[in-house]
Amino acid sequence: MKFVDEFRDAELGRAVAAEILAAVEPGRHYKLMEVCGGHTHSIYKYGIDDLLPANVELVHGPGCPVCVIPMGRVDDGIALAHEPGVIFTCFGDMLRVPGSAGTLLDAKAAGADVRMVYSPLDALRIAKANPGRQVVFFAIGFETTAPSTALTLKRAKAEGVTNFSCMCNHVTIVPPLRALLDSPDLRLDGFVGPGHVSTVVGARPFEFIPAEYGKPIVVAGFEPLDVLQAVHMLLRQLSEGRCEVENQYSRVVPYEGNLRALEVMAEVFALRPHFEWRGLGFISQSGLRLSDAYADFDAELRYGVPGVRVADPKACQCGEVLKGVIKPWECKVFGTACRPERPIGTCMVSSEGACAAYYNYGRFARERELV
Amino acid sequence: MCLAIPGRIVEVIDEANRLAKVDVAGVRRTVNIGLLDGEDGGVAAGDWVLIHVGFAISQVDEEEAIATRRLLEQMGVEYEQELAELKASAIE
Ligand code: SF4
């Protein structure tokens, strides 16, 4: 158990690993999905899977915001970046996401004014500093990030900034989980629920998982001990025949979420009837657009974005990875044609992506060290 | 961009826009604290918060903040990258 020594409380880590071992039924296979890319990262960084019994399998979910952006949206973004006079702003991770004919970084090399920003407020500052130019912010992220875009737009509106607009790609966490639960491909026994998203939405929205699908979910923090404890809580629910929403991360996540953040989101955004997810296809009511009150700030309306739809490249199996159907190393191009420096699929781009986590921590095949 | 990094509020510098100066591992930058406004008046100087894309998204106690920072430091490049991006930020 070499990794346990790095835990906040190594003793406790060992104890939880032992309790997990005691909680599993030997002949049974457990498939638990960690929804959030941050958890995937922690699991491989700390070798948490090596601490689990061989019949407890962790599969990786769709909770990495960069990974789920479909190619068509990247192409649309690139088209906006090439509009005359536009300064196109986005988070650093987005720059390397492949569209059908290159990335935003390629667009920049070809002369588009593409700038990386740390915050949507930096994009707004750029707009105010360049009154003669139009500044577009390419917004991505789950409910963790959406309130930040919302507050930025509220401020832009209050200050009457007219050269700022937003191409909104925000997505919500519940619909893809429902889609996964409805998918016949995948049999899951429970979920390690996302931590940061839940600081905003709370734990309550996950109640449908036990209520309608009879599966447990435990919202968890990001430290290795948090993830291990969440796995233990799930296994305990399963062995006791319970299924409910539990909150392992209550020190940070309030059960009701952040009401202020939910309120600004409700004001600034409206649900799209459907939104396309990389590899998962269209999922109804899973994406956000700007609300009618903020239509003036909607880059898609301002520019008549092409609305490109492109199929994922043939070689790419990101969809299966995002659904937890295959492990990254099962994708034919993993580690060969698709690498972090030259990603084919999105899961290889951000360090939160499952493929990047597997690649960076040297998981090229099935081997698991057993404890 | 997925990380939420801990920082301590040094002072609120713009009441109207809810901007505060925070200290993140020795780096001082401006972030928005408006998402934590509640009936109790929100966060204030001395409080620890988790910061994501220039916004404080949750208040944490000091022990949690320090443990989170330790975890992030062990991540290496991703944390350094996030700090570098934060350093380049100039929220007004
Ligand atoms: S290896 Fe690349 S193409 Fe294959 S699933 Fe992962 S990111 Fe997608």
Provide the residue ranges of all domains of chain A, joining segments of one domain with +.
71-171+287-303
**CATH number of the domain at A71-171+287-303, please?**
3.40.50.11740
pLDDT at A353: 84
Tell whether ligand 1 has an atom less than 6 A from the beta carbon of residue A349. Answer: no
Beta-carbon count within 10 A of A307 CB: 11
Output A225 or A270, whichever has higher pLDDT. A270
- Please name the residue of chain A whose CA is at the shortest distance from the CA of residue B75: A45
Is any Cβ of chain B less than 8 angstroms from the Cβ of A144? yes
pLDDT at A1: 47
Rounded Cα distance, A42 and B68, in Å: 12
**Residue A82 reports pLDDT greater than 90:** yes
8 Å CB contact between A175 and A129: no
Tell me which residue has its CA closest to atom 5 in ligand 1.
A318
pLDDT at A6: 64
Tell whether ligand 1 has an atom less than 6 A from the beta carbon of residue A235. Answer: no
Does the interface ipTM go beyond 0.90? yes
- Please name the residue of chain A whose CA is at the shortest distance from the CA of residue B19: A121
Q: Which CATH number fits domain B5-88: 2.30.30.140, 1.20.120.80, 1.25.10.10, 3.40.1280.10?
A: 2.30.30.140
Q: Which of A344, A358, A360 for mutating ligand 1's site (highest number of atoms within 8 Å of CB)?
A: A344
Q: How confident is the model at residue A4 (pLDDT cuts 50, 70, 90)?
A: low
8 Å CB contact between A179 and B87: no
Rounded Cα distance, A104 and B71, in Å: 31
How large is the C-alpha radius of gyration of chain A?
Answer: 21
**Residue A251 reports pLDDT greater than 80:** yes
Rounded Cα distance, A46 and A44, in Å: 5
Q: Find, among A190, A218, A230, the residue nearest to A51 by Cα.
A: A230
Residues in contact with A331: Cβ distance below 8 Å, sequence separation at least 6, in sequence order: A316, A317, A318, A320, A321, A338, A345, A355
Name every chain A residue with its beta carbon within 8 A of the beta carbon of B17. 155
Rounded Cα distance, A191 and A219, in Å: 8
Tell whether ligand 1 has an atom less than 6 A from the beta carbon of residue A347. Answer: yes
* Reported pTM: 0.91
Output B77 or A76, whichever has higher pLDDT. A76
Is B32 within 8 Å of A45 when comparing Cβ atoms?
Answer: no
Q: What is the average per-residue pLDDT within A26-55?
A: 88
User: Which range has the worst mean pLDDT, A63-67, A248-252, A293-297, A330-334?
Assistant: A63-67
- Please name the residue of chain B whose CA is at the shortest distance from the CA of residue A349: B1
**Residue B79 reports pLDDT greater than 80:** yes
